[in-house]
């Protein structure tokens, strides 16, 4: 802000140009695009695609790209994504995670360590990949450990040493939701638990897994909402960023 005001004082930009640069959001009528989110949080605004029309998403993407910010759109069906990529050919679409994103070089922003994404079963993969692709889109290295649920716990133990070396783990599970408690008791870093809606009738569309994770006896576990792979990833990336600062400082 100080730099912009100096430019106005020096006459290098007009008052109207300064107002445009200082605007915290852009009003598209149906949406107010928050261009200053990256300044506040370190990452640009993410578009939640579910419930928005293709035209609305295209307009929001255009506004974000006009400011030079990276694009991340979650919960995108393949049909909508195909239409959007016809207009924005530089973007990528990952079908399993249902995410559209600007391609970034992994570890371009984070030079040390990695995030572990630990997934209980194959049925949880959409949520696990939403978390993994989100973290990668934010510049983190991600290592995936999939189908290591507690029903065959030896599969987890075969990978536990590499999981223990991560900065933070995102643990995704449905059914009884027990995996985060097990991982939490074996690692010395934060664990972000993500319950999924996978399971039979008494799982209550993920409520059973959510309650199990909230009631975990292992310390150091934080829980996000059901099927919220994006939220789990965002929390993990923030922790990972703080770890970088500690190591570099």
Structure tokens at 84: 């959007």
Q: What is the model's pTM? A: 0.86
Vertex 207: Cα angle to 189 and 79 (nearest 5):
90
Bridge partners of residue 142, in order along the sequence: 115
Task: Look at residue 52 in the predicted model and tell me its pLDDT.
Answer: 93
| Assigned fold of 115-248 | Rossmann fold (3.40.50)
Euclidean distance between CA atoms 222 and 216, whole angstroms? 10
| Domain spans in the chain, listed from the N-terminal domain onward | 7-101, 115-248
**CA–CA distance, 118 with 183 (Å, rounded to integer):** 9
pLDDT in tens, 139-184: 899 999 999 999 899 999 999 999 999 999 999 999 999 999 999 9
SS3 43: coil
- Residues of the chain short of pLDDT 50, as ranges, are 107
């Amino acid at each position: 802000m100080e730099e912009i005001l100096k430019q106005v004082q020096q006459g290098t930009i007009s008052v109207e140009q300064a107002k445009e640069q200082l605007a915290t959001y852009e009003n598209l009528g149906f949406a107010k695009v928050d261009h200053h989110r990256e300044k506040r949080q370190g990452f640009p605004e993410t578009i939640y695609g579910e419930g928005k029309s293709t035209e609305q998403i295209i307009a929001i993407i255009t506004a974000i790209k006009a400011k030079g910010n990276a694009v991340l759109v979650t919960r995108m069906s393949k049909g909508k994504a195909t239409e959007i990529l016809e207009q924005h050919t530089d973007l990528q679409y990952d079908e399993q995670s249902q995410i559209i994103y600007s391609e970034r070089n992994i570890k371009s922003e984070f030079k040390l360590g990695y995030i572990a994404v630990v997934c209980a079963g194959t049925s949880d993969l959409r949520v696990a990949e939403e978390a993994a692709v989100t973290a990668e889109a934010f510049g983190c290295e991600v290592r995936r450990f999939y189908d290591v649920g507690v029903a065959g716990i030896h599969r987890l133990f075969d990978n536990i040493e590499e999981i223990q070396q991560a900065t933070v783990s995102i643990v995704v599970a449905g059914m009884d939701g027990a995996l985060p408690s097990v991982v939490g008791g074996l690692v010395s870093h934060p664990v972000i638990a993500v319950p999924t809606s996978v399971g039979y009738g008494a799982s209550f569309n993920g409520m059973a897994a959510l309650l199990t994770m909230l009631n975990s006896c292992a310390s150091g576990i934080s829980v996000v909402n059901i099927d919220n792979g994006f939220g789990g990833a965002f929390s993990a990336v923030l922790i990972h960023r703080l770890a970088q600062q500690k190591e570099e400082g």
